[in-house]
Amino acid sequence: MENKNYNLFRENNAGDEIVFSVSEYIEFLNLKIKPFEVKIVGEVGQVQFGPTGHVYFSLKDEKNGSTLNCIIWKSSYRSYGINLKEGMKITAVGHAEIYAQSGRLSFIAKVISLAGEGALKKEYDRIKASLEKEGIFAEERKRRLPVYPHKIGVITSRQGAVIADFLNNLGKFGFSVKMIDSRVEGQEAVKDLLASIKSFKKQKIEVLIIMRGGGSMESMMAFNNELLVREIASFPCPVIAGIGHHKDMPLAAMAADVAVSTPTAAANLLGESWQKAELFLERAARQIVLAYERKLAHINSLLQRSLAELDGFKRDMIERYEEFKSGLRFYLQKIDGKINSIKSDIKNLSLKVFFSFDSALRNVSRQTDYAEKTISLNNPERQLKLGYSIAFLKGEVLRSVSQIQKGQELNIRLADGFVESEVKKINKDNRLR
């Protein structure tokens, strides 16, 4: 229709007589004025609620009394939680439209919000008091975060530094992050935020994070919306609100299970338990190595002690032998018996030393076997033999798909060797395909 009427208009300029039907002309006007979306401010006049739930009202200019007929559809009216009343000052975002049946021009309001910081503060206090009375902000209803969160849902705007700060500080602990791009500025963000939360309700996540920077009360208006606050309070998993603020804390942050003021703080909160686990594993590894070193030192001490005893015994036998030898000429007959006695003593002592040494060696062998089993159970190569593998990119262990790009070459270590591979496709979820 737009192209047709545009051509007719050109032909009319050329001198031809062109006649529009009423409906064609109204349609032509609507096509021209609908794209011009504006924000207007005015005082609410008469308010009427239609049978289908749509709201019909007027906006009046305080300076000269000019009046504009307005309509807001049922779904939009319910989203913003504002009870329109005569005399109320509001801001409306939308476009003009002519109703063909009556020829009446109306302003179709897509978004409505209270105008003036005083009115916003008054509405903020009213909603806050009502929700506090219901226990929405009560500490006892807030849930703890999972000990080791993995699947993370994020609602924020892709524009700006918020999401970049969050991802840069999240740490490489294998998080699976799903993000929904949403408006976060002003009352216009309400529908986006509500839709994003409802979308995440259908997905398997362990923690939901809603983020934006600070700002004025008007820019933060969406986060004081009662419907949004209730959606956060009833969300099936814990919610972290990383919403900055200037004076009053947003009601959405008060309803969340955990509230922080920056995306960096939200990221650090998620990685805290993983960092502690990493430190614990490093400490355990050091303890295993230390225990192994102590066992080896103990075994070495036993061996050195046994060798020292044997050396002392040898010297003692030599000394005794020399004593017997020096008196051999004078006590030949006696020495015979003495030598036999010494031989018997030596035999008994040898057996004793042998059994003592054998017992010591068996004890050392048992301790060595135990140490070897301990090391084997904690050896990464054991995991390789169970069917796991380790991927290396340029000599470094690959921990996340965010480290790689399509076409890069990987070295994959298996139990019995290495495989060189080229990345064909990258899936950012952890489900096998």
What pLDDT does residue 10 have?
A: 46
CATH class of 34-115: mainly beta
Question: How far apart, in whole angstroms, are the C-alpha atoms of residue 227 and residue 206?
Answer: 22
Question: How far apart, in whole angstroms, are the C-alpha atoms of residue 262 and residue 255?
Answer: 17
What pLDDT does residue 431 have?
A: 60
pLDDT at 330 over 80: no
What pLDDT does residue 317 have?
A: 81
Per-residue pLDDT averaged across 294-310, rounded? 86
Q: 101-122 b/e with 16+ CB inside 10 Å = b?
A: eeeeebbbbebbbbbeeeebee
Per-residue pLDDT averaged across 14-31, rounded? 81
Nearest in space to 126 (alpha carbons), one of 162, 79, 83, 168: 83
Per-residue confidence at 1, pLDDT binned at 50, 70, 90? very low
What pLDDT does residue 209 have?
A: 94
- In the sheet where 176-181 sits, what is the strand order? 176-181, 151-156, 207-212, 239-243, 258-260
Each residue of 139-183: pLDDT tens digit? 999 999 888 888 999 999 888 778 888 888 887 777 889 999 998
CB 46 within 8 A of CB 62: no
* Residue 414 in tokens: 């298996």
Question: How far apart, in whole angstroms, are the C-alpha atoms of residue 142 and residue 127?
Answer: 19
Q: Is 242 helix (H, G, I), strand (E, B) or coil?
A: strand
pLDDT at 198 over 90: yes
* Full-model pTM: 0.54
Per-residue pLDDT averaged across 282-293, rounded? 83
Nearest in space to 221 (alpha carbons), one of 330, 419, 80: 80
What pLDDT does residue 433 have?
A: 53
What pLDDT does residue 287 have?
A: 85
To the nearest whole percent, how much of the chain has pLDDT over 90?
A: 18
Phi and psi torsions of 231, nearest 5°: -65, -40
What pLDDT does residue 14 have?
A: 55
Rounded mean pLDDT of the chain?
Answer: 82
* Residue 163 in tokens: 């999401």
**Which of 248-262, 333-347, 392-406 is the least confident region?**
333-347
Q: How many Cβ atoms sit within 10 Å of the Cβ of residue 418?
A: 12
Each residue of 159-171: pLDDT tens digit? 877 888 888 888 7
Of 328 and 62, the one with more pLDDT: 62
Q: Which residues contact 51 (CB under 8 A, 6 or more apart)?
A: none
Per-residue pLDDT averaged across 117-121, rounded? 78
CATH of domain 121-261: 3.40.50
